[in-house]
């Protein structure tokens, strides 16, 4: 379970609608863990092992992987559909793994846009973990892909702890959410390789304080690239796609993994 919210590894995880058995952990609990909070560490250790295995698998397939995180309603799916469309036009094949608590609406939208998608419905789980991603990746034709984008569950707390085997993390902050979000969720923004301020076309109506937002981000996510985009108007989309292509060509060597 998460130390943050206590969500459980329930048996209601589904990949493209098919139930997944509750996973068996590869470690034993015989080490005499007496404190309830200690259970968090074996889960994270196991997750880290699976994540490294995922990363090796993705690299063997020559697929660059981006983990995209945000709160619900940040414009993630709209941004990612437009991103995949643009990258495809530039000759990079993009596939997606989409995590959601209950619905497959996002996956349906992305499939309609012609993007190969595997849906993970997490049920009670507030984040994706590396073993779910490993299962979903086996459903994808990775040989035909250049880039795999993982749309994590909409949540700025729990997914920060879970490496999925990605090469980079992008955290979205929409202008409609307010400039203090990075102060409320520092671990998530601190772990970002890229922070994308989305819905810039709504900054005026939302009363978004851009100067304060950038100051907060520079304090908490000082090593991240900070981009401003509107998927709706196309503003900033070229730069965002350029950054993704640059990170990908810089490849896997540049992955210092400051997440952990």
Q: What is the CATH number of the domain that holds 69?
A: 3.40.50.300
- At 20 the pLDDT is 86
**1 within domain boundaries:** no
- Counted domains in the chain: 1
Q: Are 7 and 122 in contact (CB under 8 A)?
A: no
**98 within domain boundaries:** yes
Q: Chunked in runs of 10, what are the mean pLDDT values of the chain (260 residues)?
A: 67 87 48 51 88 97 97 93 95 96 90 94 92 96 97 93 97 96 96 97 96 97 96 97 93 47
**79 within domain boundaries:** yes
Structural domain including 118 reads: 14-18+38-250
**112 within domain boundaries:** yes
- For the chain, what's the residue count? 260
- At 181 the pLDDT is 96
- At 38 the pLDDT is 60
Helix (H) or strand (E) holding 186: helix 186-190
Give the up-direction half-sphere exposure of residue 122: CA atoms within 13 A in the CB hemisphere: 24
**64 within domain boundaries:** yes
**227 within domain boundaries:** yes
**113 within domain boundaries:** yes
């Amino acid at each position: 379970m998460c130390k943050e919210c206590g969500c459980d590894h329930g048996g209601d995880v589904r990949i493209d609608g098919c139930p997944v058995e509750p996973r068996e952990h590869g470690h034993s609990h015989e080490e005499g863990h007496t404190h309830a909070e200690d259970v968090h560490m074996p889960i994270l250790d196991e997750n880290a092992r699976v994540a490294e295995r995922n990363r090796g698998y993705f690299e063997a397939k020559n697929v660059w992987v981006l983990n995209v995180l945000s709160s619900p309603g940040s414009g993630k799916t709209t941004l990612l559909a437009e991103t995949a469309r643009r990258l495809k036009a530039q000759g990079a094949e993009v596939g997606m793994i989409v995590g959601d608590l209950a619905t497959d609406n996002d996956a349906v939208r992305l499939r309609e846009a012609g993007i190969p998608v595997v849906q993970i419905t997490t049920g009670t789980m507030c984040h994706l973990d590396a073993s779910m991603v490993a299962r979903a990746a086996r459903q994808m034709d990775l040989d035909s892909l250049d880039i795999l984008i993982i749309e994590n569950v909409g949540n700025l707390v729990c997914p920060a702890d879970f490496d999925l085997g990605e090469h980079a993390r992008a955290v979205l902050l929409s202008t409609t959410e307010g400039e203090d979000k990075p102060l409320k969720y520092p671990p998530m923004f601190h772990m970002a390789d890229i922070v994308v301020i989305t819905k810039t076309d709504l900054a005026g109506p939302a009363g978004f304080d851009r100067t304060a937002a950038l100051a907060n981000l520079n304090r908490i996510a000082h090593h991240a690239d900070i981009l401003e985009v509107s998927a709706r108007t196309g503003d900033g989309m070229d730069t965002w796609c350029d950054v993704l292509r640059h990170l990908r060509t810089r490849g896997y060597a540049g992955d210092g993994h400051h997440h952990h």
